[in-house]
């Protein structure tokens, strides 16, 4: 939905000794947390996903510093974000050979925490990335048909992760 640019952004949050990145679209939700710099005040910024792809291709995340530059003369540097954070209007990605400055997407990021009900017990499944990639590729061949769905089924009892899809004409 290109009429709502916030859905094409990644929410970056810096504070409480951590960095959190959240991206969502109509079907998927991804959240990454890492120990990060302590920001006072806490800062959040919604960056276009395309900007982060550019940063990755330019800097490969090595030696990267993220700052929130002052605007020239176009108003205040930030506004009130959610939960008392400061919402930056610009973000700069400084890397060893250059700098990329982007305008943040203004607006309120969807309440992604409401998607997963409180009290839900999460289980952690560790898999070899290469094996999962190969299994997903095989299942995606079948999923290209009518439903385009790949299923993941974890079994705590057997310690397995089953990756499968179904097409009426092909089966599982």
Torsion angle, alpha carbons of 80, 81, 84, 86, to 10: -70
Classify 153 in phi/psi space as left (phi over 0), alpha (psi -120 to 50) or beta. Answer: beta
- Rounded Cα–Cα distance for residues 77 and 171 (Å): 56
Q: Find out whether 45 and 30 touch, Cβ atoms under 8 Å.
A: no
pTM listed for this prediction: 0.65
Query: DSSP code of 124?
Result: -
Q: CA–CA distance from 159 to each of 123, 163, 164 (Å)?
A: 12, 13, 16
What is the tens place of the pLDDT at every residue in 13-64? 888 888 889 998 767 788 888 886 665 678 889 999 989 888 888 876 677 8
What is the tens place of the pLDDT at every residue in 60-83? 667 788 888 865 544 444 454 454
Residues 79-89, mean pLDDT to the nearest whole number: 58
């Amino acid at each position: 939905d290109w009429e709502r640019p916030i859905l094409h952004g990644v929410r970056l949050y810096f504070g409480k000794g951590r960095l959190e990145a959240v991206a969502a679209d109509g079907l998927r939700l991804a959240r990454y947390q890492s120990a990060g710099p302590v920001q006072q005040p806490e800062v959040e910024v919604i960056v276009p996903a395309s900007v982060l792809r550019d940063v990755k291709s330019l800097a490969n995340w090595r030696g990267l510093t993220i700052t929130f530059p002052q605007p020239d003369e176009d108003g205040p540097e930030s506004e009130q974000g959610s939960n008392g954070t400061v919402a930056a209007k610009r973000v700069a990605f400084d890397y060893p050979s250059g700098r990329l400055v982007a305008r943040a997407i203004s607006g309120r990021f969807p309440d992604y925490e409401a998607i997963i009900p409180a009290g839900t017990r999460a289980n952690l499944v560790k898999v070899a990335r290469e094996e999962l990639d190969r299994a997903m590729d095989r299942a995606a061949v079948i999923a290209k048909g009518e439903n385009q769905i790949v299923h993941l089924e974890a079994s705590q009892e057997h310690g397995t992760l089953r990756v499968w899809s179904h097409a009426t004409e092909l089966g599982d």
